[in-house]
Each structure stands twice: as C-alpha cells, then as structure tokens.
Amino acid sequence: MSDVLLEVEDLTVEFSLSRGVLRAVDGASFEVRRGEAVGLVGESGSGKTMALRSLIGLLPRSARIAGGSIRLEGTELVGASDSTLRAVRGQTVAMIFQEPMTALNPVMRIGDQIAETPLVRLGYGRRRAKERALELMRLVGIPDPPRRYGAFPHELSGGMRQRVVIAMALSGEPKLLLCDEPTTALDVTIQDQILKLLTSLREELGVSIVFVSHDLAVIAQTCARVAVMYAGQLVETGSVDAVFREAHHPYTLGLLRSVPSFDSVRDHLSSIPGSPPDLASPPQGCRFHPRCGFVRPNCVEGTIPLIELGGRAARCLYHEDCAEDARREPVVARA
C-alpha cells in the first residue's frame, strides 16, 4: 500500500465571469501522506478554500476544474461520475466547515445527525447506529452523551456544535478530513481545545488532515507540512519548521512578520503593502512582484516556476536573498 493517500497535480479551478475567466487555483500540486496533517495558508482570496473544495467536487456552480489531476488512493476524481463522488464523500473523505450551524440541521437532534451516516451509508441498524453515535460523542469530548443525544443544535455552545460536526465527519470512518477554517468562529480557549482534539484524533485514528487557515499559529500547532498560496498559486511548500523558521518566498516572510510575537518587542507590526491582484487579470511574471521588496526587472516577465530546494520549494528567483533576510530577523510562528 502506498504511503501517499492524496495526490494533487497541476490543479486548475476557474470561474466564468462577465469580465472574463477568473483562475482561482492555478496549477497547484501537493500530496498528503497517510496519517499526516498538511496546511494550506494564505490571505482571503488566495485560492486555498477553492483548492480544498475541489478535492471532493464541492465547488460553486459557476466554478469548474479546468485541468489537473486529483488521485485518492490511486483513483482519479477529476471527471469522476456523481455516484463515485457520492461514495467518496462522508466515507473516504469528510469535510469540517468553518461555521457549524451551517453544517447542522437546526430541527434534527444532534445524536440522530451523527447516526445518519452509519445508518444510511454503512448499513447499520438503528440500535447499532445510535451506539456508534454515542461512541463518537465520547470520542470528541461531548459530556454526558446519552443526555446530549436528544439535544438540538441551538441548545449547544459553539464549541460543542463544532465537536458535533467533527463527530459527524468521523461517523463514516474517513481516511481524510478536510478542515475549512473550523476554529475561526470560536474564542481562543475553545479554538485551542478543538485543535488539540483534531491532533489527538489524527494520532489515535491515523486519519490524514488537510487544514485550510489564514492563521499561521493554527497551522504551526496542527500541521507537519505547509503549502503557502498567493493569487491562486502555491508560492512556497515544505515542512512547517523549515518554512516558518526560514522563509524562501517574500510573501511567506511578509505573513510571518505580520504576526505579533511574545518572544520579541517591536515598535510596530510589519504589514504587506498593497492588495492581492485581480485574478481575472493577474500581473505578468511573479504575481507578488507589485508588493515585493526584493523585486527586480526579471521578476515581472515570463512565468516564475516553483523551484525545488531539496525537500521544499519556492516560487521566487531570489529565494536566497529572502532566506538571508529571514535569518537576519528570525520569526517564530509557533502557537
């Protein structure tokens, strides 16, 4: 059995708009190994959520996968039939959304919602499905499962609702969890509990995780490898420790330096100047060059490749200059 669970190669996702074609994801390639957590990080509009949703065909109606390959355990999902995708969703792959109330049925008891997949998809009888739901509620830390089984979503706190959503995601015994900023709407104490829960579930169950976030500390806490996205492209990949310790792309460095740190005192927080480009008409050359402090004439021409750097990669012609600057002023992004 291959150690690689998910292989994404040259993935391209497009929207057809009145003003032209918007390429939300442009040639993204990455892989996820069994039992591994991989983070996708970037500003809003960078393409990370579209990349995540494309993995199981949950794109908006105006979007389409225009190219590339998504192989799950060797099975190609790009162009797969609706029946194949339905078989994958909830069983081999499950998704945890940002806002639990949008993922829960407000008029259905939470226990029945957790038991639904074992009952409908896995062929469990009603009694066994209820037992499985109670087991999952204990697993994700919901107190007094027999009593909570009959509760409605509005009767639970935000943190408890997110635990219900995680239990629902696990109910089909998936091999891969897709997490779309699942802690953004929670306060920091509950966020920490949910992140620790996801980490313990990965270690205990061996499930793989793709974690989308704009929060570098969340990625540092939960993931072993990270892929940084900007304007629809992957601009840097590698281990979390390597990338966060010594960024090789100016955008990654800018993100890291915009995070407050308790380890050093700064007069002011750094910020990345300008705004992300319009993806319907992105700039030539490096897409980050209008905002980059390292920009040179050949950054604004042609196509800038993702340069392999021995276990990591960066889409920057002057990645050594960036790394040297990172070494001069180290940044710690650990939560």
pTM for this one? Answer: 0.92
CATH of segment(s) 1-92+176-335: 3.40.50.300
pLDDT tens, 194-209? 999 999 999 999 999 9
Q: What is the average pLDDT across 226-242? A: 97
Banded model confidence at residue 292, pLDDT cuts 50, 70, 90:
very high
Banded model confidence at residue 231, pLDDT cuts 50, 70, 90:
very high
pLDDT tens, 103-143? 899 999 999 999 999 999 889 999 999 999 999 999 999 99
Residue 333 half-sphere exposure, CB side, CA atoms within 13 Å?
Answer: 29
In whole angstroms, how far apart are CA 130 and each of 115, 136, 194, 206, 296?
Answer: 6, 10, 24, 24, 63
Percent of the chain at pLDDT exceeding 70: 96
Which pLDDT score, from 0 to 100, does residue 335 have?
Answer: 45
Contact at 8 Å (CB) between 13 and 25?
yes
Which pLDDT score, from 0 to 100, does residue 263 have?
Answer: 60
211, β-bridge pairs = 39, 179
Banded model confidence at residue 213, pLDDT cuts 50, 70, 90:
very high
Which pLDDT score, from 0 to 100, does residue 188 have?
Answer: 87
Q: In whole angstroms, what is the distance from residue 233 CA to residue 69 CA?
A: 16
Contact at 8 Å (CB) between 177 and 208?
yes
Which pLDDT score, from 0 to 100, does residue 332 have?
Answer: 55
Q: In whole angstroms, what is the distance from residue 177 CA to residue 89 CA?
A: 10
Contact at 8 Å (CB) between 312 and 236?
yes
| Whether pLDDT at 95 is above 60 | yes
| Whether pLDDT at 282 is above 70 | yes
Number of Cβ atoms within 10 Å of the Cβ of 274 = 10
DSSP 54-93: HTTT---TTEEEEEEEEEETTEE-TT--HHHHHHHBTTTE
Question: CATH 3.40.50.300 residue ranges in the chain?
Answer: 1-92+176-335
Which pLDDT score, from 0 to 100, does residue 266 have?
Answer: 57
Banded model confidence at residue 175, pLDDT cuts 50, 70, 90:
very high
Banded model confidence at residue 91, pLDDT cuts 50, 70, 90:
confident
Contact at 8 Å (CB) between 242 and 311?
yes
